[in-house]
Chain A
Amino acid sequence: MSWDSLGKGGRWAVGLLLAVALLLAGAVAAGSVAAAELEEVVARGELIWAADQEGGGPHVFLDPKNPSQLTGFEVELAELLAAELGVKARFQQGQWDRLPLLLGRTADCVINGIELTPGRQRDYRCSRPYFAYALQLVARRDAPLTSFERLESLGPHGRWRVGVLTGSAAEILMRGRAGLEVDVVGYDGTVDCLEQVTTGVLDATVLDDCIASFYADRFPRLRAVDRPQAGGFYTILTPPDTPHLSAKIDEALGRLLTDGRLKQLYDSWDLAGRQQVLLLRDADEIPPAPRDSWGHLLRSALPLLLSAAGMTVLLSAASFPLAILIGLAVAIGRLYGPPLLRPLLAGYVEVLRGTPLMLQLYALFFLLPKIGLALPALAAAIIGLALNYSAYESEIYRAGLKAVPGGQFEAALALGMTKWQALRHVIVPQAVRIVMPPVTSDFIALFKDTSVCSAITVIELTKRYSVLALSTGRIVELAVVTALLYLAMSWPMALVSRWLERRLERTGAARQP
C-alpha cells in the first residue's frame, strides 16, 4: 500500500497515530529522566521552586507597589529553605493545577498552597506540612446565603453556582460532599472567583481561609459566610525519585518550625504564627491512596472524557458556522459596502486578529459582567471563538471574492441584477468554492483551539484530561485514551473535507478562459 493510495483521510489517520506514538515515547522518556536530586541542586547552587503568581496572595503574587517584584509568604519560605540547603532560590512560573508536571523537568519542587492529599502522597514525595488551612465559604453581603447548610436547599435562582480553584481541596470538598444543591465551576485563579462573585456570575466561592482574609479589603462587597469547613495542610512536592532532596527539605522545615523562624514568618504576614506552629507540630500522617486498577480507572474516567469530548464538538460545531457567516458579511462589507463602513470593518478584523483568543474570551467572560452583561461560560466561549475566527474567515473570503474574475460581476450587472443579487447568486457561490480548502483547515484549527475555553471554566477534552491525569496519577494511560478520542472526532472531519474537495472538483472552481 503506497502513501498516495491511502487517500487524504488515511494519511491523516497515519499522521495522527504517529503523533500519538511520539507523544507516548516522549512521556516514557520523561519518566526515565532522573529528577534533579540533592547533589545536583547543590552543585547548581539554586533550588528551583515552581508556583503560579496568578494564584494570588498571600502565597505568591506581584507586589502591587512594585509590580516587577514577586512577594508572598511562600516566596520568603522558599528563600529560607534554599538558605538551609546552602543555595539560592529561583522562581519558576507555572499554571497552578499543572505545577506538578514541572517537577523533575524545570523545577525541583512545588511550593504553592498544594494541599496534602492521599492522591498526592501516592504520586509525589510530599514534605511534612508547612501551613494549615481551612476552607472558607465567601458570598456577597446582600446574598441570601447565610450559612454553609443553606447550600443544601435550592437558592432563589435554583442551584447555587459556586466557583472553586480547579484541582484544589475546595473543589474536592464541593464536588464530594453529598446533599449540596450546587453547580461547581472550576477556575484557574481564586481572584477570578472572587471577581465573579462580586459581579453576580457566581453565588459564592470556597477558598482557603488565608486567601479570603488576604483579599477581604479588596472585595468589600463580599463576606465570609459561616465558620471555615474542612481543612488540611500545605505540603512541598518533590519528584518521586528524590529521597535525599525531600529528606533535606523535611529537615529544614523541622528546624524552621522549632527555632521560631516559621512563626516569625507567618506573624509578619498576619497568619497567626503561634496557631500555625501548634497545628503543624501535631499534624497526623496521611497515608498514600491506593492506585486505581486500570479497569476501575476506565470506568470512572471514560464517561467524564466522553462528555468533555462532546463539549469540544459542541463548541466547534456551534461557533464555526457563526464565524463563517460573520466573516463573509465582514468581507462583503469591506469590498462592496458603504465606504464609511469599510475602515470600521478593517479595524474589527485587525483588533480580533491582533489580540490573543485567550484575552478575548477573558474579556467576554470576566469583563462584560462588570458592565452588567453576564454571559454564561458556554455562550461566552461560543461567541468568543466565533468572533475570533470570523476575523480569519473574513480575510479568506475577501481573498476568495477578489479571486472571482471582474467580468463575472460586470456580466451580472449587465443583465440587470442589483449589486446584492449579483453577490448572492454569482460572486459569493464562486468565492465559497475557491476558499473551501483554507476554510476546512481553519475548522480543524478551531477544533483544537476550543481547549483555550478552559480558561473561562468550560471543561472540554484537554482540560478534563489534565484534571483527571493529575488527580489519578495515570498521565500516560489517559493521554492515550484522550488521543484516541481526538482521533475518533477528527477522522470523520477528514472524511467530510475529502468529500467536499471531491464535490468541489466535480462542480469546478471559477475558471474562465
Chain B
Amino acid sequence: MITVESVAAFRAGVRVLEDVSLNVPAGTVTTLVGPSGSGKSTLLRCLNGLETLAAGSVEIAGHRLTAGPQSPRRLELLRRDVGMVFQQFNLFPHLSVLDNVALPPRVIRQMPAAEARAQAQTLLERVGLAHLADVRPTALSGGQQQRVAIARSLAMEPRVMLFDEPTSALDPAMSGEVLEVILGLARAGQTMVVVTHDHSFARRVATQVAELVAGRVVRQGTAAEVL
C-alpha cells in the first residue's frame, strides 16, 4: 500500500531525512518511533505531500510522489485517499462537531448535504461522540476533539490513515480513549502509519515498527524486535 524509496527531505535548509526506505503492506499498522527531531514527523508529512521530497519517491494508495514540487491537482487527489490526524487536532472552530465531519465530503466530493450529515452522524457514533454532534469543537475536551478529528478524516473514506503524535497533547486519561479508537481501526483492517512516543501503545497496535535516528531508519521489524 505504501512504498518509500530512498527519500531525502530538507526543512528550512537542514537535511532531516536521508535515504529512507519503508514498505507498508495493505491492512497493516506501522509505527514510527525515535527521539525528537529524528525526522519521523517529516517522514509522515512526506507521505501525503505536505513536505516536498528532495530525492527518492513515495508510492501510496496508488498515487506516486517524486522529488521536487508536485502539481496541486496530483496532491489533492492523493490526499483524498490518505487521511491525516494532527497532534493539535486542527478542528474547524466555526463549525459544529457534526459539520466538521460532514464538510470534507460535501465540499470535495459534492456529496448532498443530507447524505454528508447522515454519514457524519454514523462516524461520530463510531468514535462514541454522537451525543455531542451539535456543540462547537471548543467546548470539547482534548480527547474528544481528537476523536472528532479522526472521524473527520474517515469521512473521506481514506485507504491509508496517518497519525502525527495523536496523543502527545493529551493527558493519559484522554490518550486512552483516542488509542482505543485507533486500535478499533486497526482491528477493522485499516492501513495506518502512526508517529508516537508511546512504546506500550506501539507494541499493542503495530505490525511493524521503524525507529528513526538523525533522519535515517536505524532499525525496522516487529515491535518485539525493535522495542
* Residue positions of A touching B, CB distance < 8 A: 405, 407-408, 410-419, 421, 425-426, 429-430, 433, 507-513
Among the stretches B4-12, B76-84, B181-189, the one at the interface with A is: B76-84
Q: Which residues of B contact A416 (CB under 8 A)?
A: 76-80, 104, 108, 156
Among the stretches B25-33, B86-94, B119-127, the one at the interface with A is: B86-94
Other than the given A413-B79, A415-B152, A417-B108, 6 more pairs (CB < 8 A) read A411-B91, A412-B92, A418-B76, A508-B93, A509-B93, A512-B89
A508 to B50, CA, bound (A): 29
A509 to B94, CA, bound (A): 7
Flag whether B167 is at the interface (Cβ < 8 A).
no
Judge whether B94 and A433 touch: CB under 8 Å.
yes
A430 to B95, CA, bound (A): 10
Judge whether A410 and B93 touch: CB under 8 Å.
no
B79 nearest CB neighbor, chain A only: A416
Number of interface residues of B (CB under 8 A): 31
Judge whether A417 and B76 touch: CB under 8 Å.
yes
| Binary contact readout B123-152 vs A (1 if CB under 8 angstroms, 0 otherwise) | 000000000000010100010010000001
Flag whether B48 is at the interface (Cβ < 8 A).
yes
| Binary contact readout B88-118 vs A (1 if CB under 8 angstroms, 0 otherwise) | 1111111000000001100110000000000
- Assuming the contacts A407-B88, A414-B79, A415-B79, asked whether A429 and B156 have C-beta atoms less than 8 A apart, the reply is no
Q: Which residues of B contact A412 (CB under 8 A)?
A: 92
A511 to B94, CA, bound (A): 9
Judge whether B93 and A415 touch: CB under 8 Å.
no
The interface centre, meaning the residue of B77, B78, B86, B107 with most chain A CB atoms within 10 A of its CB, is B107
Distance between B162 CB and nearest chain A CB, rounded to angstroms: 8
Flag whether B153 is at the interface (Cβ < 8 A).
yes
Q: Which residues of B contact A512 (CB under 8 A)?
A: 88-90, 93
Q: Which residues of A contact B13 (CB under 8 A)?
A: none
Q: Which residues of A contact B107 (CB under 8 A)?
A: 417, 421, 425
Judge whether B93 and A510 touch: CB under 8 Å.
yes
A429 to B153, CA, bound (A): 21
- Identify which of A414, A425, A511 contacts B93 (C-beta below 8 A): A511
Flag whether B172 is at the interface (Cβ < 8 A).
no
The 10 nearest A-B residue pairs measured at CB = A416-B80, A411-B90, A416-B79, A407-B90, A414-B84, A415-B104, A429-B94, A430-B94, A416-B108, A421-B107
A425 to B107, CA, bound (A): 8
| Binary contact readout B194-227 vs A (1 if CB under 8 angstroms, 0 otherwise) | 0000000000000000000000000000000000
Q: Which residues B27-82 have CB closer than 8 A to chain A?
A: 48, 50, 72, 75-80
Q: Which residues of B contact A407 (CB under 8 A)?
A: 86, 88, 90
A325 to B136, CA, bound (A): 28
A429 to B100, CA, bound (A): 13
A410 to B41, CA, bound (A): 14
Judge whether B142 and A513 touch: CB under 8 Å.
yes
Q: Which residues of A contact B153 (CB under 8 A)?
A: 415
- Assuming the contacts A407-B88, A426-B92, asked whether A414 and B108 have C-beta atoms less than 8 A apart, the reply is no
B108 nearest CB neighbor, chain A only: A416
B106 nearest CB neighbor, chain A only: A425
A122 to B88, CA, bound (A): 76
Distance between A324 CB and nearest chain B CB, rounded to angstroms: 18
